[in-house]
Structure 1
Amino acid sequence: MSWNLTAAATLENEHVLLRPIAPEDREGVRAVAMDPEIWRYFVSLVETDADFETFFDATLADHAAGRRVVRVIVDKSTGRIAGSMSYGNMAEADARLEIGWSWLGRDFQGRGVNRWAKYLLLEHAFERMGAERVEFKTDELNTQARRGLRNIGAVEEGTFRSYNYMPGGRRRDAVFYSILRADWPRVKQQLATRPKVTDTVAGAVG
């Protein structure tokens, strides 16, 4: 089945629900997004209500245009939106996609939300969409995100120097990671059995 039909499926387990973002999520996302620390290594900066409106509108536009499959993450223990993750750079002919644009509100960091969200997205990519390769990238300076990706078994592949501009004008060096289909059984076991291993990632993967 085409990725256009399968990529945006709603995903859930007993811990989290991941569903495609919708306009009515604006206030739920705002409630957890107004924390500048989340955006330290992000390509967007959200400090004011105007920043948030620009960010949220751009996210909706990307999702509607098919540039990304954006999901909000709902923490089932509270029923609240905890953050967001996306599929992007999908190349179905090459069975390759990226998981990124990832962030969590401060209240949901270190609680297993990130781990289970990544588990569901990887499981869907490898076991239902038929992906052969899932990519991640993050700022070279983001030691938390880099440690978290290594801890789940993602392989560091190299650094793209001067990859893009960041807020304030800094040029980011982007470090790329991947998980291949052959890696997935091992990574799946790690995610399922080591609850704290990926929750060092506060945001800004992608």
Structure 2
Amino acid sequence: MLPKNLILETNKVLLRVMDEKDFEAFHKLTVQDKGMWEFFSLNLSDENQLNEWMEDAFASNIKNSRIPFTIIDKSSDEIAGSSSIGNIAWHDKRLEIGWSWLAPKFRGTEVNRHAKYVMMRYAFEQMNFERVEFKTGVLNIRARKGLEKIGGIEEGTLRSHSLLWNGVRRTSVFYSVLKDEWPKLKSTIFADIG
């Protein structure tokens, strides 16, 4: 069973399980840059699609296959965005970190790196999982560079992998971090956090 009140944090971010009350704050953030949804499955700047996305997150949480987080920037005490631990394969000890977005104000800050760190730390050290996966659109260069910065190893692409909200078929590129790679990443890329 997934903990329903899980909190993950560093000195810069606090991740708490998403709540229905986050809708209004999320909506204010998701409309700030409508272009950020170009590579996303849904257009979260649209209230109906944001609601659908949140309802799916809650349903997946009930099924113990996803922990959707609200990311809070501790320096400002503001909601910065969201990310999830999901597609949890308990038998295979594998999960995905994704469904991630940050409001424009928090992009290029340390918020994303700290959020990814606490989720990977939880996956490898508390859940004792063997593999953390990430995927993004092959054309989403910003996300790909971000995954490389946190130690993700590119593994390959799946052509015409998913349908985006705008009718475009997305080719996805997969990255991963393995449990035996985690100690080195923790002592290098994330040394200032841990």
Confirm or deny a common fold (TM above 0.5): yes
Aligned counterparts of 2:130 and 2:57: Cα–Cα separation in 1? 26
SS in 1 for 2:144: helix
Matching of residue 52 in structure 1 with residue 50 in structure 2: yes
- 2:25 corresponds, among 22, 28, 42, to 28
Compute the displacement of 1:149 (Å): 1.1
With the length of structure 1 as denominator, give the TM-score of the two structures. 0.85
Paired amino acid for 2:22: D
4+ aligned runs moved over 6 Å, structure 1: none
1:162 corresponding residue in structure 2: 160
Aligned counterparts of 1:23 and 1:47: Cα–Cα separation in 2? 17
With the length of structure 2 as denominator, give the TM-score of the two structures. 0.90
- 2:10 corresponds, among 9, 13, 26, to 13
1:68 corresponding residue in structure 2: 66
Q: What do you get for the CA RMSD once the two structures are aligned?
A: 1.9
Paired amino acid for 2:6: A
- 1:85 corresponds, among 83, 86, 97, to 83
CA separation of 1:48/1:133 partners in 2, compared to 1, >3 Å: closer, same or farther?
closer
Structure with bigger RCO (C-alpha 8 Å, 6+ apart): 1
Q: Is the 8 A contact 1:164 1:171 kept in 2?
A: yes
1:114 corresponding residue in structure 2: 112
Aligned counterparts of 1:8 and 1:142: Cα–Cα separation in 2? 32
Aligned counterparts of 1:129 and 1:67: Cα–Cα separation in 2? 13
Aligned counterparts of 2:52 and 2:3: Cα–Cα separation in 1? 28
Compute the displacement of 1:72 (Å): 0.5
SS in 2 for 1:167: coil
Q: How many residues align?
A: 192
Structure 2 regions of 5+ residues with no counterpart?
none
Question: Could you report, residue by residue, the CA deviation over 1:124-150 in whole angstroms, capped at 9, with x for unpaired residues?
Answer: 110111011000111000011111112
Compute the displacement of 1:114 (Å): 0.2
